[in-house]
Amino acid sequence: MKQDQPRPTPRAGIMDIEAYVPGKSTAPAGVTKVYKLSSNENPLGPSPKAIEAAREVAGKLDVYPDGTARRLREAIAEVHGLNPANIICSNGSDEILGLLAQTYLAPGDEAVFTEHAFMVYKIYVQAAGAKPVAVKETDERADVDAMLAAVTPATRIVFLANPNNPTGTYLPFSEVRRLHAGLPKNVLLVLDAAYAEYVRRNDYEAGIELAGSAENVVMTRTFSKLGLGGARVGWMYGPAHIVDAINRVRGPFNVNATAIEAGIASIRDRAHVERSVQHNEKWLGWLSEQMIGLGLRVTPSVGNFLLIHFPDDKKHSAAAADDFLSQRGYILRRVTGYGFPNALRMSIGTEEANRGVVDALKTFLKS
Ligand SMILES: *Cc1c(COP(=O)(O)O)cnc(C)c1O
């Protein structure tokens, strides 16, 4: 084919997007046992009840799902004490973040988030033709004053991951309220509470009350970090006028039948959630102490992962550690794209995986 032939071209800005790179899931050739600690999945796996529900639906895969995911919304509403009419379910919470950008941003608009924020915000803002505005953090944590200072008349959305990935840091809810209070009423505040279940802090709130009372706040949640990453189930809670707008834009059957049934069984299995959170609390604390004991700095995390910073000498850099660990089957997450060229993010794993990483790092740092 001739090179100069006309061909379809993406909208302005699309080719400037750097595609999302998911956590690695494979180890170098020859490594037999692989511990995937790169995607913040649940080391306890899915709820056994979700597995059962997914098996059951397999025989009915010819039938379209309920396009409003009513029973899933009702199950979520029951567990969290919400009105199901104010919930939208989605193909992972990524989808809902994209729909919010697509619905509320136009070319020329701006969207604000923080410098080490979850990467998909930038992608969806650019995909909507709008301008991403990344704001400096303080001590690897969102800085409300800096965020408010970045708001201009062109700002339409402020994204806040609370807690944030990959840092694991969080804002106490008094700070979130202060952020909201400082925003113009026409700016949408998106509270991404993907790790809410894991946070055990008295001053933390996911945002249910604020999203239930303000006209410009939504809260997004996911099932992915509690054992259903592969099923793709997320949801949003917010005011009726936003739910109405998103329902016009989303795909008519955006949540598939397996996701709906696995999601219902999963959220009703509170014992599995509790086990997962307890496992996390124990090993997050243990791993943080061990890393500090090895002389490594960690960012204080309330999520199901830990950001580990490596020394400046090249022999013991994050890249070298990543190679060393991968050879032994421990797959962590490089976070250069998040502005941390010399850190690795480690998901809290099984006891075996956690102890294995610490032992391997001991050897690595002595080498
Ligand atoms: C994992 C994650 C999500 C979304 O995950 P889904 O699998 O799409 O539900 C959203 N926000 C943050 C901060 C995350 O870490």
CATH number for the domain including 208?
3.40.640.10
73-125 pLDDT, tens per residue? 999 999 999 999 999 999 999 999 999 999 999 999 999 999 999 999 999 99
What tokens does 82 get? 């919400």
Q: Do 100 and 38 fall into the same domain?
A: no
Tell me if 161 CB under 6 Å of ligand 1.
yes
Q: Is residue 60 part of a domain?
A: yes
How many helices (H) and strands (E) the chain has is answered by 12, 13
Residue 1 confidence (pLDDT): 54
Q: Which of 237, 269, 301 is the last residue of a domain?
A: 269
Query: What are the DSSP calls for 28-47, one per residue?
Result: -TT--S-EE-SS---TT-S-
235 with 294, same domain? no
Mutate which of 90, 93, 267 for ligand 1? The one with the most ligand atoms within 8 Å of its CB, which is 93
Q: Are residues 142 and 289 in the same domain?
A: no
Q: How confident is the model at residue 273 (pLDDT cuts 50, 70, 90)?
A: very high
Interhelix angle 92-104/240-249, rounded to 10 degrees, is: 100
Residue that is last in its domain, among 244, 269, 294: 269
Q: Which atom of ligand 1 is nearest to the CA of 94?
A: 8
Residue 3 has pLDDT above 80, yes or no: no
| Range in 2-16, 177-191, 192-206 with the lowest mean pLDDT | 2-16
Nearest CA to ligand 1 atom 2: 194
Residue 192 included in any domain: yes
Please tell me the distance between residue 168's alpha carbon and the centre of ligand 1 in angstroms. Answer: 13
239 lies in the same domain as 288: no
Position 22 confidence tier, pLDDT thresholds 50, 70, 90: confident
Domain carrying residue 91: 48-269
Quote the crossing angle between the two packed helices 257-268 and 48-58, to the nearest 10°: 150
Q: Is the pLDDT of residue 41 over 70?
A: yes
Q: Do both 276 and 241 map to the same domain?
A: no
pLDDT value for 100: 98
What six digits make up the tokens of 241?
A: 């006028």
Four-point Cα dihedral 258, 264, 270, 272, nearest 10: -10
- Among 218, 234, 269, the domain boundary falls at 269
How many domains does the chain fold into? 2
130 shares its domain with 163: yes
Cα(167) to centroid(ligand 1), Å: 14
Q: pLDDT confidence of 21, banded at 50, 70, 90?
A: confident
Asked if residue 3 belongs to a domain, the reply is: no
Closest residue to atom 3 of ligand 1, CA basis: 194
Tell whether ligand 1 has an atom less than 6 A from the beta carbon of residue 347.
Answer: no
Q: Is residue 6 part of a domain?
A: no
